[in-house]
Chain A
Amino acid sequence: MLTVENFGKSFTTHHLNQTRKAVSGISFNVEKGEFLGIVGKSGSGKSTVLKSIYGTYKPNEGQILYDSERFGTVNLHEIPDHDLIRLRKTEIGYVSQFLKVMPRTTSFELVVLSLLEMGVDRVTAEVTAEETLRHFDLPEALWHNYPNTFSGGEKLRLNIACAVVKAPRLLLLDEPTASLDQASKLKVRESISKLKDSGTTLIGIFHDLEFMEGLCDKVYDMSARAVKETV
């Protein structure tokens, strides 16, 4: 489903006249329906790997091959921007702690929109959005508010709702439980496990290793540059 081959990324900051290597020599492979965890200390490049798969970062070494439903096998860094945008709308999801800003759009509408861009009709989208927000315990009083004012945990649950509701083929999770209490974490875990059962391939970074136990099929260790099977 996804093959990362000798991937590396460096950042050039022109005004400092500086180029820094963030990460290099990363190779792993995720089969359809598998859950790969990524572990490593802070600053080791975990988020850089995920963002480069999603296309937020432009990698400069190696390649990232994805078996897409729509286009067949593609190198995610060579396909046209427009095709990558289409994959993001329909196949590849990404969740982080940061909420995407949208002018005056309510939390309910955000979830509806994620469904609409997949081609779901509005009535179905609204029903599904309601179920999903309920599942993630986003208080009904907040559904028609703008998320700018939400707490970290509320924003995060909204982000997860927007991603999960699409049941993407490939879901990238960058510490999606970082600021959640235990009850919310369990809800997230439950949803992830449901997605996995339904065939979604997942790659996730969690600071909380316990949380990943029993969910991940294997773990990529940034410091060892190797995949370990976990059973």
Chain B
Amino acid sequence: MSTNDIVMSIRDVSKRFGEGCEACREDTSILNGNICPDCGTVHAVRDISFDLHEGEILGIVGESGSGKSTLMKMMYFDQENTSGDYYLRSYENGAENVFDVSSQKKREIRNEQLGMVYQNPLHGLKINFSSMTNIAEKLIAGGSRNVGEMTARGDMFLEKVNIPLSRKFEAPKNFSGGMQQRVQIAKALSNYPPILLLDEVTTGLDLSVQADVLELIKEIQREMGVSMIVVSHDLAIIRMLCDRTMVLLNGEVIESGITDQILEDPQHEYTQQLVYSIL
């Protein structure tokens, strides 16, 4: 990694679902969308490269199936990459490709250096356990052992995301969708990761609840200086949150730029369609 304010670098990262025929492994087959017509392999993410800078919010936008979640899952080690490199400043100062480290090391990175908030709270939370237990689990995974410290940390983050402490021992399954997302955010932040990944975290919420969560995200970014990657199919959300934006189509980045440039002077036909359809 070159400049020191880069906290994450992704280089030529690809993900294929399927064995791949010779042509599609060599990237010479002409895909039908993201599918190889000869062997049916799905090219979910294709040769993506980008840097994430300290304190910035990077947006990734694209329609359903464009590869956004697959990319995020690779960064959080939920999914293995097919090829490409991944560097984190927080790991060996970016000197090692973290896709290649041991699974033990990957677990450590995941628990201590990254936070992930999924669209579906069931993926990020143990929904039948209390909010406090959920946070404690992440803290323990990150190496904490002191119960007093863990409860204090839990209280602090639940307060930060506006979950009443009187409800900290309740299971999130009883909470509204917006509250569940806020518990997920508290859990994801609880180890003070330098990077937070957010995958469609407001999709499906009522508009006013959506606004609350968006505001919370912006506030956290300001107060904690966490660098974030925000994935959404909705350019209106990207417009509110993101400094820079990448547009994905069929697993490829077709355009990227400063967010207002993407919105006011979109170059690619697909980006223009997206922009013209913002409400």
Contact = CB atoms under 8 A, between A and B. Distances in A.
Interface stretch (A98-106, A193-201, A202-210, A219-227): A98-106
Contact of B222 (A51, A57, A116): A116
A51 B263 CA distance: 13
B258 A14 contact: no
Contacts of A56: 258, 260-261, 264-265
B258 A81 contact: yes
B218 interface: yes
A15 interface: yes
Interface stretch (B98-106, B111-119, B155-163, B209-217): B209-217
Contacts of A14: 268-269, 272
B232 to A, nearest CB: 13
Nearest to A94: B260
A118 to B, nearest CB: 13
Q: Could you say which interface size class chain B belongs to? A: 20 to 34
Given A55-B258, A105-B215, A85 B244 contact: yes
A58 B218 contact: no
A57 B261 contact: yes
Interface string A44-57: 00000001000111
B265 A11 contact: yes
Contacts of A20: none
A102 B211 CA distance: 10
22 contacts: A12-B267, A14-B272, A15-B269, A15-B273, A51-B264, A55-B258, A56-B258, A56-B260, A58-B261, A81-B257, A82-B51, A82-B244, A84-B258, A85-B244, A85-B258, A101-B239, A102-B218, A102-B240, A103-B214, A103-B215, A104-B215, A113-B222
Interface of B: 51, 53, 56, 211-212, 214-215, 218, 222, 239-240, 243-244, 256-258, 260-261, 264-265, 267-269, 272-273
Interface of A: 11-15, 51, 55-58, 81-82, 84-85, 101-105, 113, 116
